[in-house]
Chains A and B, each alone.
Chain A
């Protein structure tokens, strides 16, 4: 089931285009990673989905219906640049934000109690935010984002500024919210967490969508027919045997007699062909296909912007 559909969004600021014909789609109950370097246009897109700014062209659909003003009550948003009123008490502040999201006083109080008890922070209720540490304030911000039980959670760089303990806590909560049925869109630079928790991704660079889709699909699209072969024997002989039909991308000596080589298949050769070529020269111990990490994909896609067009481009 579709959760969010972004169709041909264009956003132009005085002097530059922030989003150029961006279309993405997320499914209900999945964690969707919105990736891209700084200035790519992620925050612009997120602000449009949150109706903080409007697009110059394009449409957005939430659960199949065009986005309405009232839908902001179904979205929870944790901005990258986030803060709280320093002089306001934690309880008053959380109640204020909850009521802005359409909760009644009674509901807001009940849900606030639930989260504060869960995080064991009820003693903070009457503290002013300026008395809290940064980590404490971040927990409050997270609670404020999820308090009204949004169907769609949009988290812009949710892990930035969090210490490792809070990062883990937030990660756990995100997975729990997903289990409870929420759909989550998160923008992050933290590629490890993308690998860990995202189901789908979209990669934006210079205001254009480079690639999008299921995480595993994207990864397999970025596979380059490269295999890691661990062998016993001489590297010199191994390299010579490859000749022009394969390319030795990378090699590493494990000990005096053993090494691992990353070999890319060329000219329509298969793994079988490769093995046949090198088996007479060395003794093979293990063979694995090299799957690119999200980090590799990110760097490759961004530095060679346009390269994955023939693969990822079809998604646009």
Chain B
């Protein structure tokens, strides 16, 4: 086996055998799966059909609520002329009703509807009740004005409203939603860059502080040692991804298997919506979900994620290796890390500022500049607004920069690792680069 192979082998096996690695790799999908299952379970627990007593002395609802054909209503409405709130609360007669809603005869002027529940209904049911009753009141008002309920419902039907770029007639709203998916990937890359590149730094520092490094570099070129480290930790990262994806898929499939017998897709959607505020819930309908699935080319996105993660990792890992080699203790690294972390943090914030403006200058430049392209480009890829040649240029620039930083890091590394007992300043590091 070549020496580089030996270095990679040692670094890789020592990492994947660590308890922390095993725990993190197995625990993360398990926790995520458990949380998902828990959410589903709670959702099912709450899937209780409510009986709503509508106290409507002025008969403003006309004693009925319109229910659509395809609806799977979480509540049924019952009407009464008048029931005292205290009777609802204490009387055995009304104990089968879960919610009581009072329609004030003056509701059209005071615009207030008050109700009581026995057990807090979940947000989506609450919203359903509100929507049905206010809708019915509006219909009543319309009928009063001579517009039939059916006509009024037609009038109220929402319009699909879209603003398009005059020079580019693609659908911006869908694009923004797709970009949110891209942002998810950006955040993942950002976190993984810091985690794995940070591991390279700590590994360099560990060999330096334990003074084992001089024994190793008497057999292996410092550059090989550094390269071995970067490759091995990158492989550890990929191993972790692979295990996560496999475990998560297995967990997802088994959870689905456990629950599908009892719930249909719509329930799942309701449960998901229950966790969001009403406005978000409005947005989340089947059309949106389909849009995201259809607009985003997941295969391309995942391949791009891997390419940009690996290249970004090599870039930042070599910078972190410089910091590790120039430091003499963990505390030293914090100071030296600032110039490396600052651009990364800046890029991270930029990636949020370009939401909804993925064709803007910031996004354009950000997706070319190698220090930011691993984080920014994925958003453009997710929205599908990027041409293949742009990706090629961006990747080539990134590869070139990676080669340069690895080369420069090698120069700093070979001097830095043998400097014991003091922290180098950036001024000295630049001197080593020139030497």
Binding site for B on A (CB under 8 A): 13-14, 47, 50-53, 72, 75, 77-79, 81-88, 96-97, 99-101, 141, 144
Contacts and interface: CB of A to CB of B under 8 A. Distances in A.
22 contacts: A13-B435, A47-B418, A52-B222, A52-B418, A77-B215, A77-B218, A79-B218, A81-B214, A81-B420, A82-B214, A82-B215, A84-B210, A84-B212, A84-B215, A85-B207, A87-B14, A88-B14, A97-B216, A99-B1, A99-B6, A100-B219, A144-B215
| Most central of A47, A53, A79 by chain B CB within 10 Å | A79
Given A52-B214, A100-B3, A72 B14 contact: no
Interface string B114-156: 0000000000000000000000000000000000000000000
Given A96-B10, A99-B1, A99-B6, A85 B418 contact: no
A141 B215 contact: yes
A48 to B, nearest CB: 12
Main secondary structure of the interface of B (DSSP, over half): helix
Nearest to A15: B431
B252 interface: no
A14 B210 contact: no
B422 interface: no
A14 B418 contact: no
Contacts of A100: 3, 6, 216, 219-220
| Most central of B215, B216, B418 by chain A CB within 10 Å | B215
Contact of A14 (B206, B216, B432): B432
B212 A85 contact: yes
A15 B218 CA distance: 25
Given A72-B219, A85-B14, A97-B219, 4 more contacts: A47-B418, A82-B212, A96-B6, A144-B215
A153 to B, nearest CB: 12
Given A14-B431, A14-B435, A52-B418, A97 B215 contact: yes
Nearest to A76: B218
B64 interface: no
A93 to B, nearest CB: 9
Interface string B394-435: 000000000000000000001000101000000010011001
B211 A52 contact: no
Contacts, number: 63
B217 interface: yes
Nearest to B7: A100
Interface of B: 1, 3, 6, 10, 14, 206-207, 210-212, 214-220, 222, 414, 418, 420, 428, 431-432, 435
Contacts of A144: 215
A240 to B, nearest CB: 57
Contacts of A50: 218
A240 B217 CA distance: 64
Contacts of A141: 215
B218 A52 contact: yes
Contacts of A79: 211, 214-215, 218
A120 B214 CA distance: 27
Contacts of B207: 85
Given A47-B418, A100-B220, A83 B6 contact: no
A219 B217 CA distance: 36
| Most central of A75, A99, A101, A144 by chain B CB within 10 Å | A99
Contacts of B222: 52
B374 to A, nearest CB: 31
B434 to A, nearest CB: 8
B429 to A, nearest CB: 11
A79 B218 CA distance: 9
A281 to B, nearest CB: 59
B211 A81 contact: yes
Nearest to A100: B219
A144 B216 CA distance: 11
A51 B216 CA distance: 12
Contacts of A84: 210, 212, 215
Leading 7 A-B pairs by shortest Cβ distance: A83-B211, A100-B219, A79-B214, A77-B218, A83-B210, A81-B211, A50-B218
| Most central of B212, B218, B414, B418 by chain A CB within 10 Å | B218
Contacts of B217: 52
Contacts of B1: 99
B12 to A, nearest CB: 12
A207 B273 CA distance: 76
A86 B6 contact: no
B22 to A, nearest CB: 14
Nearest to A129: B210
Contact of A85 (B210, B432, B435): B210
A83 B420 CA distance: 13
A106 to B, nearest CB: 13
A50 B213 CA distance: 13
A99 B220 CA distance: 11
A297 B212 CA distance: 34
Contacts of A86: 210
A233 B14 CA distance: 77
B418 A101 contact: no
Contacts of B215: 77-79, 82-84, 97, 141, 144
A97 B220 CA distance: 10
A86 B203 CA distance: 12
A81 B218 CA distance: 13
Contacts of B3: 100
Contacts of B220: 100
Contacts of A96: 6, 10
A78 B214 CA distance: 9
A77 B222 CA distance: 16
Nearest to B431: A14
Contacts of A52: 214, 217-218, 222, 418
Contacts of A14: 428, 431-432, 435
Nearest to A78: B215
A152 to B, nearest CB: 12
Nearest to A81: B211
